Amino acid sequence: MSSEEALETLSSLPYRDLGFARVDVHRELRQGAPEAVLAEGKTPEQVAGIVGALLEGGAGSVLVTRADEAVREAVRNVAGDAEEDVRARAVWFARGVPEPRGLVVMVSAGTSDGPVLHEARIRAELLGTTVLVHEDAGVAGLQRLLPVLPDVERADCVVVVAGMDGALASVVGGLAAAPVIGVPTSVGYGSAAAGQTALNAMLSSCAAGLAVVGIDDGLGAGTIAARIARGRE
Amino acid sequence: MSSEEALETLSSLPYRDLGFARVDVHRELRQGAPEAVLAEGKTPEQVAGIVGALLEGGAGSVLVTRADEAVREAVRNVAGDAEEDVRARAVWFARGVPEPRGLVVMVSAGTSDGPVLHEARIRAELLGTTVLVHEDAGVAGLQRLLPVLPDVERADCVVVVAGMDGALASVVGGLAAAPVIGVPTSVGYGSAAAGQTALNAMLSSCAAGLAVVGIDDGLGAGTIAARIARGRE
Amino acid sequence: MSSEEALETLSSLPYRDLGFARVDVHRELRQGAPEAVLAEGKTPEQVAGIVGALLEGGAGSVLVTRADEAVREAVRNVAGDAEEDVRARAVWFARGVPEPRGLVVMVSAGTSDGPVLHEARIRAELLGTTVLVHEDAGVAGLQRLLPVLPDVERADCVVVVAGMDGALASVVGGLAAAPVIGVPTSVGYGSAAAGQTALNAMLSSCAAGLAVVGIDDGLGAGTIAARIARGRE
Amino acid sequence: MSSEEALETLSSLPYRDLGFARVDVHRELRQGAPEAVLAEGKTPEQVAGIVGALLEGGAGSVLVTRADEAVREAVRNVAGDAEEDVRARAVWFARGVPEPRGLVVMVSAGTSDGPVLHEARIRAELLGTTVLVHEDAGVAGLQRLLPVLPDVERADCVVVVAGMDGALASVVGGLAAAPVIGVPTSVGYGSAAAGQTALNAMLSSCAAGLAVVGIDDGLGAGTIAARIARGRE
Amino acid sequence: MSSEEALETLSSLPYRDLGFARVDVHRELRQGAPEAVLAEGKTPEQVAGIVGALLEGGAGSVLVTRADEAVREAVRNVAGDAEEDVRARAVWFARGVPEPRGLVVMVSAGTSDGPVLHEARIRAELLGTTVLVHEDAGVAGLQRLLPVLPDVERADCVVVVAGMDGALASVVGGLAAAPVIGVPTSVGYGSAAAGQTALNAMLSSCAAGLAVVGIDDGLGAGTIAARIARGRE
Amino acid sequence: MSSEEALETLSSLPYRDLGFARVDVHRELRQGAPEAVLAEGKTPEQVAGIVGALLEGGAGSVLVTRADEAVREAVRNVAGDAEEDVRARAVWFARGVPEPRGLVVMVSAGTSDGPVLHEARIRAELLGTTVLVHEDAGVAGLQRLLPVLPDVERADCVVVVAGMDGALASVVGGLAAAPVIGVPTSVGYGSAAAGQTALNAMLSSCAAGLAVVGIDDGLGAGTIAARIARGRE
Amino acid sequence: MSSEEALETLSSLPYRDLGFARVDVHRELRQGAPEAVLAEGKTPEQVAGIVGALLEGGAGSVLVTRADEAVREAVRNVAGDAEEDVRARAVWFARGVPEPRGLVVMVSAGTSDGPVLHEARIRAELLGTTVLVHEDAGVAGLQRLLPVLPDVERADCVVVVAGMDGALASVVGGLAAAPVIGVPTSVGYGSAAAGQTALNAMLSSCAAGLAVVGIDDGLGAGTIAARIARGRE
Amino acid sequence: MSSEEALETLSSLPYRDLGFARVDVHRELRQGAPEAVLAEGKTPEQVAGIVGALLEGGAGSVLVTRADEAVREAVRNVAGDAEEDVRARAVWFARGVPEPRGLVVMVSAGTSDGPVLHEARIRAELLGTTVLVHEDAGVAGLQRLLPVLPDVERADCVVVVAGMDGALASVVGGLAAAPVIGVPTSVGYGSAAAGQTALNAMLSSCAAGLAVVGIDDGLGAGTIAARIARGRE
């Protein structure tokens, strides 16, 4: 594609203006990514309006994250095929999910990392990849990590979800041959600093092949993990 | 591989003890990654000692980063086939580099991001991938970004190197279909906060499919980019 | 005006002492600015008392910001011509608004930036300028920004409201010929750091002609934007 | 200008590729801004190369900031009409400076703010505006501020340069009718926090009509001040 | 007093052990300071227990700060002569207050600083000094500060209470001949940083003769101000 | 034990997989530490599930920390021998507590440090050591510290619990011959910074023989104090 | 003095304009404070120029702080009666120092706090007060503090200079009946955070009657201590 | 010992006043700790003076840390039996070192942690304990950690020295039965934040039995480790 064609494509992409939101009804044409909507900071009505416009615009699938019960109810009322996961605070419509390709292995350090891990899992599955989950495998008890290693060995991408010291990312990052995506979580108190410590620890890890998404950003981790695992299309 | 086999493999890996360093002479067996040595915080003699042990141990290739002239000279004296790149502060031995596979496109926001970008490039090339470079394409002049788009379109992985506001990662992240790795740099002054602002901006970007390595960590970006681009082996 | 006259003017300005507040009943003589009252940290009674004193003192217009329902109700009871905007958490009296002069274009990155954007809009309109609004035009989907450009082109001042990475300010700042005022918002979580990241990103942007007001400070942005757009009087 | 025309203009803008830099030879067509080059982080050769390309491309004027003696010497050798200001660490070519329009008044809190103030002054003058300077007028001795007030009164834009507590911006911001641009400086030690305190103080000032540029960013202040003072063209 | 006598005095001071608290029943012998109890972090029962022990121990006066309604009620029930100030969140017993000596002038920047200012006032009055209060005299409207100056001129100690930019402390500090105590408050939002900005601004002020207590620490300000105003006894 | 035996032991340790948690039923075999469960971030049902599995697995004792009433109720229902301490927010089963050995002396600066101090005490007692407690012995009244000294003198380990300035740790650290463990608490406001100031003060103390655990981490302090006091077994 | 007189006085105060500095030749008329000049950030020539103008203007005494050898030499050449203290990095002219009144006791925690302590001492002595100095009396060895107590007992003002944990201020603040001024210093490394930890510790101390100046601000401490000790004049 | 005896002992301890330092010639009577002198912030002459006074006072052993070559030379000249370790930046006199008791195992993550590790080792040895050292055993290559485990198993105290992510402390802390002391180091760049990340990671680790000393504080780690290993005496 030439530079001129890039511009042309860019300017021809349609969107729908709801007044408070410009809904990008063909983002997946551009990126191969179904739509995601962050509920936080929006009213239930706004979220439902955006979701409705996306579905009407023919979106493949739509995932709403950080959705409390009021938002989830509003979204469930948009169409009959809504699915939800309370622990992950997520509600979604799974339409036109591609055939799964590639394997993502997701490992969490503790039980409290569950909401973020499952947000990542749902996102990656909607993007069309297979996800294997290991929860509560933190490094303070290395024997809990051992059964995870064979799955890490065969993964196309590994996602490590950890708060507090974030050390699990360094240990797994040192063992995996596939790309590893670290997700720091806001689990912990005091010097855990709402995820900042886990984030900084992952960023300064000397494990090779490790990159990081934002604190508690399960969505972002699921997105890039699925892209990596599916490979170039 | 079973959990028991994982342990067995782990305990059988050889390393060489130099007193001040335990040189992991077979890391590539485990991870497919040639060795990298961070020169900062080590004496030229220590670096040369580690490099020598690695080469004697049969390492595929060895890359020394953040190496000043004294370190580079000490490393050049280890063996005759040393190569170096002064701007990237790097010196290396390229032995047994695998056949290139996949395409990584690397884009920087400004001229001053060059050292980090080229460290990433050298690392990725040593890992066996093809790298295309576009420098000085920051978003404050969008027309400088346009010629980059066709290459972004066909990349297996995109690396964005940017300091200050780090906005280039958000813009490219919104356009690319491939996984994007952001590398914040310490370029800038004042509120650029030695790379912290670019880092935080990339982490809080709402562009899909973007993950981040540490500030100025060209090595880490090159490693994961090459792994992504080469895909599962 | 000489130095002596400046002093004289200063000392002759009247104010009204309410005990808990010194109400500056002639600030507009000095600055051409109608009054604004920050409700946060004051009781509804205190706010209503200040507003009443200002109106009695002949203030041109009075705008109360960050006003919850209790404050808005207390203010509505002060006089019959109160207007309010729930989303912007604002209530005001529009009296003696000057003839509009100049054009301010306000662009927000996302739906959640709405409250701050509309606080800025109301303030600027009360100061006597025309405001055009474009919401949800963030850079992660550049095509949503394209229809904004012609308006940016003809503006006397541009206001960019954005949280998270704040990248929209850099992109618009690189395209606009008029002065650009960035307003970082506390939208986002984790590394968005309650607006600090957007603030730092805007401050370290290399876009020319960009200045910034405080996090979520729609009032401040509306004030300076109107002053710029109206020009010297 | 329509959205299509905006795109067309964007894609037709020429630039020159130096390998390490993409020189935007027609930025002034787009923004009315002569070129500025930040020397920090670039070699003298790189700076001279960029400046040369700009002058050959017909740039109106070129300003190099944060330039040490080595950079200034390299730039002086590019062409015979270089001018420099050692205190401001600046070197420039003044070609095709527009007829001055509007008045910018610049006030600094202390002698040590001089380098930043003069960088702002030079930038604003090159953009075609008249600048009046008052140095060392900090609020700890209010009588030193009094003679500044008449000039503040008649300015089209006021620039306040202050480190440490940054209080001068609040005081001047409370007195000026024109837009005020605050420039925090890294002057001071301890809790001055390299300009962060002045920055935060200015951002949280309740003076109306005040916006802020980055710490020590004289260039940015000069740019927006000139644009404001010259008004819409 | 010799070093041996100092030790002897120290070891002979009585206190009363309540299990959860060691009540220092003779602190005023040692310091001339009536007792103060911080309610935050203690249950109403614990606060009432401590206050009761102090009164039984013969304490001159007892002041409870940061007391919500539940605490104030519990304290009111301890003895019949309790007094309270809801705005200042304070409840106290005024027994044996010394004859007032010296004059403290307290100035606040805005209405919202009231709770801290009045906590300081009550404390200073209980310690035996005269307090004059000026509220809402912030520097963004210098004319509101002018009527304060004659009182500042004749004070034995000046207390300045200000949040946000804290600039009032610098301006008053530059005009007063008496020692000035700055009290940063957590008033404001965004870059006001819960009082940190006002604190840092006061600490880096170049006004002579200014010292600072902790954020929102009205109690501390009242204590040292009274000691300064009363002079050596 | 040889390196091979270490590995073998590691891989043979049993745990129980609850889906959301991997319960390490034999940790005490490995470390001599009974189990502790952090309730924060887990649902009451999850906590009860983990506790039940541990007790069924034959755990010696189980301590649940940071447990609100809902959690404590769920845990009390797991088995009949639950004990709780509301102030310490703790609930536990004391089974197979070893014979006490060694003496730990715990000193707090103020009444509000109580919850953390008692969490530490319970933990240490469950691990089998004797604990002596002195509350409210802060340095601002040195005489309250004197009666603590003889106990400090004979302790095998001293624990100092303090918020705000954390100065008690420095003073006790300078007097004790035994190892001292500092526990910063989040008591205080403003510059106390939620425990960060006490933490930093303890870490930068020049008292010999002082180490620190995380903010409010009574559990951690109790654990290491008991291990030190019991000595090598 | 009336409000009008205050203004009149303010506007009649003379100063001398050096171009880069407005020298306030009669500040002592206004504040009773001889002049102080911060050398940092100024050239030796600028400092000498300011000092010369002050002496010619009839200043009582002039103190230059943070002066390296080059500055001190330039100042020594201004007039024959210069005095200097290398350890305190100070040079000064002592002219018309008032008769000493009152007693200031200054205590430092360690040898490395010497430069700040002596800057404070020189300043206070030039303002006309008697100063007693005790160095290296940190709390980690309480016996070193005991001989200081009798002097603390009879002081009109106590100054405590301490870095690292700043605990000395809390201990002395708990023992002194006079006002105490804390001076945090940048002594220490790591978590001492260049004085920030000592500063925060002092600010959150619960010792009554303690106020604080900026990090390393010996000048400020000396100023306010002398004003307190001399009392109202 | 009674409270009165404690006081008596305290007041009878001798020290020697050097003017700039109060040398505590009998600290070991009180704490069993030989003397340590931090050279940073003191002149070589001051350090030598303090060391000389200590030796003359009969100190058991004296250790000078953070000593550059100039300091080490000055100290070597004090007496003939000086020993030094250039890598650890230490110089010392080993007199009257007690018979070794107990075993401390010290593990570092990387070669660059050497200076801190060896400072800790020297200190612990001077206090009379046996130290075993394992360098460069970071978790990114778990096989390098395996040979360390048998020594960890039999230690009376374990010291873990690590910068960057500090993950080694969590892993070792999860495996050791003895108390573990973590020493964060300032090794690394960017998000390693000069040791702050390793510090926070260690503090928020959920490994039981782990406490931490300050960044780079080898001295502190050696002190407490020796006290733990030697046990109650």
ipTM: 0.91
Model pLDDT for residues G120-140, shown as the tens digit of each residue:
999 999 999 999 999 988 887
Q: How many helices (H) and strands (E) does chain C have?
A: 9, 11
In this prediction, residue A230 has a pLDDT band, given cuts at 50, 70 and 90, of very high
Q: Is D171 close to E167, i.e. CB distance below 8 A?
A: yes
- CB count, 10 Å around CB of G81? 11
In this prediction, residue A28 has a pLDDT band, given cuts at 50, 70 and 90, of very low
Q: Is 60 exceeded by the pLDDT of residue C224?
A: yes
pLDDT of residue H140: 74
pLDDT of residue D28: 45
pLDDT of residue C32: 41
- Those chains having 3 or more beta-carbon pairs within 8 angstroms of chain D are A, B, C, E, G
Question: Whole-angstrom Cα distance, residue G233 to residue A6?
Answer: 78
In this prediction, residue A223 has a pLDDT band, given cuts at 50, 70 and 90, of very high
In this prediction, residue A143 has a pLDDT band, given cuts at 50, 70 and 90, of confident
DSSP D208: T
Q: Is H191 close to B42, i.e. CB distance below 8 A?
A: no
Average pLDDT taken over every residue of chain A: 88
What radius of gyration, in Å, describes the C-alpha atoms of chain H? Answer: 18
Question: Whole-angstrom Cα distance, residue C12 to residue F177?
Answer: 70
In this prediction, residue H203 has a pLDDT band, given cuts at 50, 70 and 90, of very high
Share above pLDDT 70 across residues of chain H, in percent, rounded to a whole number: 87
Torsion over CA: C213, C216, C220, C223 (sign): positive
Model pLDDT for residues D85-97, shown as the tens digit of each residue:
999 999 999 988 9
In this complex, the residue of D11, D46, D216 whose CB is nearest that of residue B146 is D11
Q: Is G175 close to E209, i.e. CB distance below 8 A?
A: no
Residue with token string 């604990």: F131
Chain C nearest CA to D109, separation (Å): 18
DSSP A92: E
Chain E meets chain C (3+ C-beta pairs below 8 A): yes
Q: Is C38 close to D206, i.e. CB distance below 8 A?
A: yes
Please write down the HEC assignment for all residues of H90-149: EEEEECCCCCCCCEEEEEECCHHHHHHHHHHHHHHHHCCCEEEEECCCCHHHHHHCHHHH
Chain A nearest CA to F31, separation (Å): 10
Share above pLDDT 70 across residues of chain E, in percent, rounded to a whole number: 88
- Supply the DSSP string of H6-47, one letter for each residue: HHHHHHH---EE-SS-EE-TTHHHHHS--EEEE-TTS-HHHH
Shortest CA distance to C174 belongs to which of C192, C197, C149, C198? C149
pLDDT of residue G31: 44
Q: Which carries the bigger pLDDT value, residue E23 or residue F35?
A: F35
Question: Whole-angstrom Cα distance, residue H79 to residue H62?
Answer: 12
Residue in chain D closest to B192 (alpha carbons) equals: D214
Q: Is 80 exceeded by the pLDDT of residue E174?
A: yes
Test the F interface: residue of H212, H215, H217, H223 with most F CBs within 10 Å: H212
- Supply the DSSP string of B36-63, one letter for each residue: EEE-TTS-HHHHHHHHHHHHHTT-S-EE
For residue D21, what are its two tokens?
């830099």
List the Cα angle A12/A16/A17 in 5-degree steps.
120
3-state secondary structure of G105: strand
Instruction: Show residues of chain G in contact with F197, CB under 8 Å.
Output: 197, 200-201, 204
Q: Is F40 close to A112, i.e. CB distance below 8 A?
A: yes
DSSP E200: H
Q: Is 90 exceeded by the pLDDT of residue H70?
A: yes
Region D12-29: mean pLDDT is 62
- CB count, 10 Å around CB of G21? 23
In this prediction, residue D183 has a pLDDT band, given cuts at 50, 70 and 90, of very high
Those residues with Cβ within 8 angstroms of residue E41's Cβ, 6 or more apart along the chain or in another chain = F110, F111, F112, F187
Instruction: Show residues of chain D in contact with E193, CB under 8 Å.
Output: 200, 204
Residue in chain F closest to E47 (alpha carbons) equals: F111
pLDDT of residue F209: 92
Q: Is D7 close to A11, i.e. CB distance below 8 A?
A: yes
Q: Is 80 exceeded by the pLDDT of residue E189?
A: yes
Chain B nearest CA to H172, separation (Å): 17
* Burial profile A150-170: b = 16 or more Cβ within 10 angstroms, e = fewer: ebbbebbbbbbbbbbbbbbbb
Question: Whole-angstrom Cα distance, residue G89 to residue G86?
Answer: 5
Q: Is H191 close to B215, i.e. CB distance below 8 A?
A: yes
Contact residues of C toward G, CB < 8 A: 3-4, 7, 10-11
Instruction: Show residues of chain H in contact with G111, CB under 8 Å.
Output: 20-21, 41-42, 46, 50
Q: Which carries the bigger pLDDT value, residue H54 or residue A121?
A: A121
DSSP F60: S
In this prediction, residue D56 has a pLDDT band, given cuts at 50, 70 and 90, of confident
User: Which regions of chain F does DSSP assign to beta strands (E)?
Assistant: 16-17, 22-23, 35-38, 61-65, 82-85, 90-94, 103-108, 130-134, 157-162, 180-184, 210-212
- CB count, 10 Å around CB of E4? 11
- Those chains having 3 or more beta-carbon pairs within 8 angstroms of chain F are A, B, E, G, H
Q: How many contacts (CB atoms, under 8 Å) link B and D? A: 51
pTM: 0.92
List the Cα angle G76/G82/G86 in 5-degree steps.
80
Chain C nearest CA to G63, separation (Å): 31
- Those chains having 3 or more beta-carbon pairs within 8 angstroms of chain H are A, B, E, F, G
Model pLDDT for residues G147-175, shown as the tens digit of each residue:
898 999 999 999 999 999 999 999 999 88
**Structural element, H or E, at residue A119:** helix A114-126
Q: Is B205 close to C164, i.e. CB distance below 8 A?
A: yes
| pLDDT tens-place values along chain F, 233 residues long | 455 555 555 555 566 777 777 766 555 444 445 789 999 989 999 999 999 988 888 878 999 999 999 999 999 999 999 999 999 999 999 988 999 999 999 999 998 999 999 999 999 999 999 999 999 988 877 777 888 989 999 999 999 999 999 999 999 998 899 999 999 999 988 899 999 999 999 999 988 899 999 999 999 999 999 999 999 55
pLDDT of residue B99: 94
Least confident of A116-130, A185-199, C21-35: C21-35
Contact criterion met (CB below 8 Å) for D224 and D120:
no
Sheet containing C35-38: give its strands across. Answer: C35-38, C62-65, C90-93, C82-85
Whole-Å CA distances, G225 to A94, D59, G119, G180: 72, 59, 13, 8
Half-sphere exposure in the Cβ direction for C51 (13 Å, CA): 34
Rounded to the nearest 10°, the torsion over CA G124, G126, G128, G130 is 50
Question: Whole-angstrom Cα distance, residue F205 to residue F169?
Answer: 8
Average pLDDT taken over every residue of chain D: 88
Instruction: Show residues of chain H in contact with F36, CB under 8 Å.
Output: 208
Instruction: Show residues of chain F in contact with E7, CB under 8 Å.
Output: none
- Out of C19-28, D65-74, F132-141, the most confident range is D65-74
Region G17-32: mean pLDDT is 58
Instruction: Show residues of chain G in contact with F201, CB under 8 Å.
Output: 164-167, 197-198, 200-201
Test the D interface: residue of C7, C146, C216, C232 with most D CBs within 10 Å: C232
- Residues forming a β-bridge with E92: E63, E83
Q: Is G201 close to F166, i.e. CB distance below 8 A?
A: yes
Q: Do the bridges between strand D22-23 and strand F130-134 make them parallel or antiparallel, or are there none, so unpaired?
A: unpaired
Model pLDDT for residues E35-62, shown as the tens digit of each residue:
899 999 899 999 999 999 888 888 789 9
In this complex, the residue of B15, B50, B214 whose CB is nearest that of residue H143 is B15
In this complex, the residue of D13, D40, D66 whose CB is nearest that of residue B143 is D13
Instruction: Show residues of chain H in contact with B59, CB under 8 Å.
Output: none
Region B133-147: mean pLDDT is 83
List the Cα angle D103/D109/D115 in 5-degree steps.
75
Residue in chain F closest to A138 (alpha carbons) equals: F22
Instruction: Show residues of chain C in contact with G4, CB under 8 Å.
Output: 11
Q: How many contacts (CB atoms, under 8 Å) link E and H? A: 9
G91 φ, ψ (degrees, to nearest 5)? -140, 145
Contact criterion met (CB below 8 Å) for B183 and B217:
yes
Q: How many contacts (CB atoms, under 8 Å) link A and F? A: 51
Q: Is 80 exceeded by the pLDDT of residue A26?
A: no
Q: Is E46 close to F187, i.e. CB distance below 8 A?
A: no
For residue E133, what are its two tokens?
């209060």
Region E115-144: mean pLDDT is 91
pLDDT of residue H30: 40
In this complex, the residue of B188, B201, B208 whose CB is nearest that of residue C167 is B201
